Amino acid sequence: MIRLEHVSKVYKTSTRPALDNVSVEMDKGEFVFLIGPSGSGKSTFLRLLLREEVPSKGRVYVSNFDVAKMSRRRVPRLRQSIGCVFQDFRLLTNKTVAENVAFALEVIGKPRNTIVKVVPEVLQLVGLDGKADRMPHELSGGEQQRVAIARAFVNRPLVLLADEPTGNLDPDTSQDIMLLLERINRTGTTVLMATHDHSIVDSMRRRVVELDHGRIIRDDARGVYGVGR
Amino acid sequence: MRTSFVFSEVVTGLRRNVTMTIAMILTTAISLGLLGGGLLIVRMVDKMQDNYQSKLEVSVLLTNDVSANDKDCAQQPCAGLRSALEATSGVETVVYENREKGYERFKQIFEAQPELVKLARPEAIPATFRVKLEDPARANVIVQAFTGKAGVKAVNDQGEFLGRLLDVFNGLRNIVLALALIQALAALLLISNTIQVSAFTRRTEVGIMRLVGATRWYTQLPFLIEAVVAGVIGAIVGVGGLALMVFGATRVSGDLFTSQILPPMGMLDVVIISPILLGVAVFISALTGYVTLRLYVRL
């Protein structure tokens, strides 16, 4: 589903590569944690998958997209098959919960009747039924992140990228969000989550890929955050 | 493409920075109004040329001596001049107008100013050959050949006068068009700036749109349409202003037009040039919008 072959990324403003000869493969339906200290290359990794960046060297594949080489015109197709969740939720503050989720479908030209049908379904899936008409500021952080997850998942992406999705949440709420991500993973969606959260990684016992200075220093099938950390 | 979505985005965008939008509309309106003014002058000059070209004559004014003594152009040097004129190639007709007839004509022309007529004595009016040419542009042949000949006081080319008048109008046109150009540059920069501001205030939306895989057109079209809508409104305001000015001008200088000295400029002329202005507005705003989005805004 996701495959990187000898990928390096050097930013123009920096001499040290953000990613240094990274090769890794993630299968369909896997749940993978991407860990490592700040500046280790986690964000660059995710940005390469979305083609926010192009690698300096190597090849990137997502599903059957040759991400690094694809033409600009095909990029929207790639992004339609990837869902994204962030630490800061990135909701539209002037739209209701349902409108926020519907927005993701509207802008890719989905017909009205499809939107009317699938938005309530996905809101129910993330546990927000009954809150469709609330504004984001009326919700708790955990609920806002659920809205963001609903928006990321509403188009049934093949891959869900989560960049520190629990970074702004308390441990209990984080646990709820992880349960939700697990549920989404069980539908067959590959989930790749970049995180600093030890307890979550340790309790989930999923595959852990650790980056340091742009290199993969660990890849455990059922890993923990780190020994002695 | 969901049109309702794009439309609501456009309305939100225009409302959100309404001061910028108004500035953009006004600048565009002034620029297009000036451009329209320039075009109107072009039309006026064309009409004037059409009106006068066929009537242009070269006047060969005769000396006082001839004017006083030779009523029918029967004596020399008058008769000789006439046959010389008639023999010149390119000359269509030669009409002799003696002092009395010239005076009559003078009175007729200045009917409206009796004090001027009262002041003028017939003795001040020279006898004249009115020479009509096949090609008024070649008047200088006559001017050169007959200036200074015996019995000739002066040779006047009406074309030269008309030319000077047209030069004035063409100069005016150039000034107006130059102003239009400067103003257009201001409008251009404003459009570009407004789009950048607009894209900045909507960066969250645009970011999400990019992320969920909206196509380039879907993300850019609202901004483009915003620019074009403002451009079109600007054009309408500009045309309206122009119509108002033409209306005012015809009211004030009605005599000048009705006396046929200047060709009349009416609402019809404004109507004729308005599609040009509208087209220019749409083209410029769309192009500016597109280039701005390409160069400055990462969508």
Which pLDDT score, from 0 to 100, does residue A229 have? 47
Answer yes or no: is pLDDT of A215 > 90: yes
For residue A137, which phi and psi values (nearest 5 degrees)? -70, -10
Which pLDDT score, from 0 to 100, does residue A88 have? 92
Q: Compare all CA atoms of chain A with the CA of B2 and give the residue at the minimum distance.
A: A109
Is residue A201 classed exposed, middle or buried when 0-12, 13-18 and 19+ CB atoms within 10 A define those classes? buried
- pLDDT-based confidence at residue B262 (cuts at 50, 70, 90): low
Measured in residues, chain A has a length of 229
> Collapsing DSSP states into helix, strand and coil, what is residue A2?
strand
Which pLDDT score, from 0 to 100, does residue A228 have? 44
Q: How many CB atoms lie within 10 A of CB B203?
A: 12
Could you tell me the two tokens for B171? 């100069």
Per the CB < 8 A criterion, the answer to whether B270 and B36 are in contact is yes
Which pLDDT score, from 0 to 100, does residue A127 have? 93
Quote the CA–CA distance of A226 and B292 in Å, as a whole number: 49
Which pLDDT score, from 0 to 100, does residue A151 have? 96
Q: Which of B2, B207, B213 sits opposite A76 (nearest CB)?
A: B213
In 3D, which of A162, A194, A183, A169 has the Cα closest to residue A83?
A: A162
Are the beta carbons of B212 and A151 separated by less than 8 Å? yes
Quote the CA–CA distance of A44 and A56 in Å, as a whole number: 12
Burial of B3-20, coded b for 16+ CB within 10 Å and e otherwise, reads eebbeebbebbbeebeeb
For residue A91, is it left (φ>0), alpha (ψ between -120 and 50) or beta?
beta
Could you tell me the two tokens for B154? 């002066």
- pLDDT-based confidence at residue B141 (cuts at 50, 70, 90): confident
Any B CB within 8 A of A186 CB: no
> What are the structural domain ranges in chain A?
1-81+161-223, 87-156
Any B CB within 8 A of A84 CB: yes
Which pLDDT score, from 0 to 100, does residue B79 have? 79
Per-range mean pLDDT, top range of A111-125, A211-225, B49-63: A111-125
Is residue A76 reached through a cis peptide bond, with omega within 30 degrees of 0 on the bond before it? no
B222 vs A56: which has the higher pLDDT = A56
Which pLDDT score, from 0 to 100, does residue B126 have? 82
Which pLDDT score, from 0 to 100, does residue A177 have? 95
Per-range mean pLDDT, top range of A72-86, B182-196, B246-260, B285-299: A72-86
From chain A, the residues in CB contact with B208 under 8 A are 90, 92, 103-104, 107, 151
B83 vs A82: which has the higher pLDDT = A82
Q: What is the DSSP letter of A115?
A: H
Which residues are paired to B58 by β-bridges? B131, B157
Cα three-residue angle A161-A162-A167, rounded to 5 degrees: 170
In 3D, which of A134, A92, A123 has the Cα closest to residue B207?
A: A92
User: Which domains does chain B possess?
Assistant: 3-52+163-295 (no CATH), 64-150 (3.30.70.3040)
Which pLDDT score, from 0 to 100, does residue A126 have? 94
Q: Give chain A's mean pLDDT.
A: 92
Answer yes or no: is pLDDT of A68 > 50: yes
- pLDDT-based confidence at residue A227 (cuts at 50, 70, 90): low
**What's the whole-number mean pLDDT along residues A24-41?**
93
**What's the whole-number mean pLDDT along residues B244-252?**
80
What's the start-to-end Cα distance of chain B, in Å? 17
Interface test with B, best of A103, A106, A158 (most B CBs within 10 A): A106
Q: Which of B2, B204, B216 sits opposite A109 (nearest CB)?
A: B2
Which pLDDT score, from 0 to 100, does residue B189 have? 87
> ipTM score here?
0.86
CA distance B269 to chain A (A): 44
Are the beta carbons of B213 and A79 separated by less than 8 Å? yes
Answer yes or no: is pLDDT of A63 > 80: yes
Half-sphere exposure of B275 (CA within 13 A, CB side): 2
Are the beta carbons of B204 and A90 separated by less than 8 Å? yes
A178 vs B67: which has the higher pLDDT = A178
Q: Which of A50, A90, A109 sits opposite B208 (nearest CB)?
A: A90
Which pLDDT score, from 0 to 100, does residue A101 have? 96
- pLDDT-based confidence at residue B100 (cuts at 50, 70, 90): confident
Which pLDDT score, from 0 to 100, does residue A128 have? 94
B200 vs B135: which has the higher pLDDT = B200
Answer yes or no: is pLDDT of B260 > 60: no
Which pLDDT score, from 0 to 100, does residue A150 have? 96
Per the CB < 8 A criterion, the answer to whether A46 and A194 are in contact is yes
Are the beta carbons of B212 and A107 separated by less than 8 Å? yes
CA distance B292 to chain A (A): 18
Q: Compare all CA atoms of chain B with the CA of A107 and give the residue at the minimum distance.
A: B214
Are the beta carbons of A106 and B5 separated by less than 8 Å? yes
**What's the whole-number mean pLDDT along residues B105-125?**
75
B220 vs B89: which has the higher pLDDT = B220
The fold of A1-81+161-223 is Rossmann fold (3.40.50)
Any B CB within 8 A of A112 CB: yes
Are the beta carbons of B210 and A79 separated by less than 8 Å? yes
Any B CB within 8 A of A81 CB: yes
With a pLDDT cut of 90, the percent of chain A lying above it is 82
Answer yes or no: is pLDDT of B123 > 90: no
**What's the whole-number mean pLDDT along residues A158-176?**
94
CA distance A170 to chain B (A): 25
B189 vs A59: which has the higher pLDDT = A59
Answer yes or no: is pLDDT of A22 > 90: yes
Quote the CA–CA distance of B124 and B116 in Å, as a whole number: 13
Which pLDDT score, from 0 to 100, does residue A122 have? 95
Q: Compare all CA atoms of chain B with the CA of A156 and give the residue at the minimum distance.
A: B212
**What's the whole-number mean pLDDT along residues B81-100?**
79
Q: Compare all CA atoms of chain B with the CA of A83 and give the residue at the minimum distance.
A: B212
Are the beta carbons of A104 and B2 separated by less than 8 Å? no
Residue type, A46: L
**What's the whole-number mean pLDDT along residues B31-53?**
81
**What's the whole-number mean pLDDT along residues B150-164?**
78
* pLDDT tens readout for residues A34-51: 999 988 999 999 999 999
Q: What is the DSSP letter of A131?
A: -
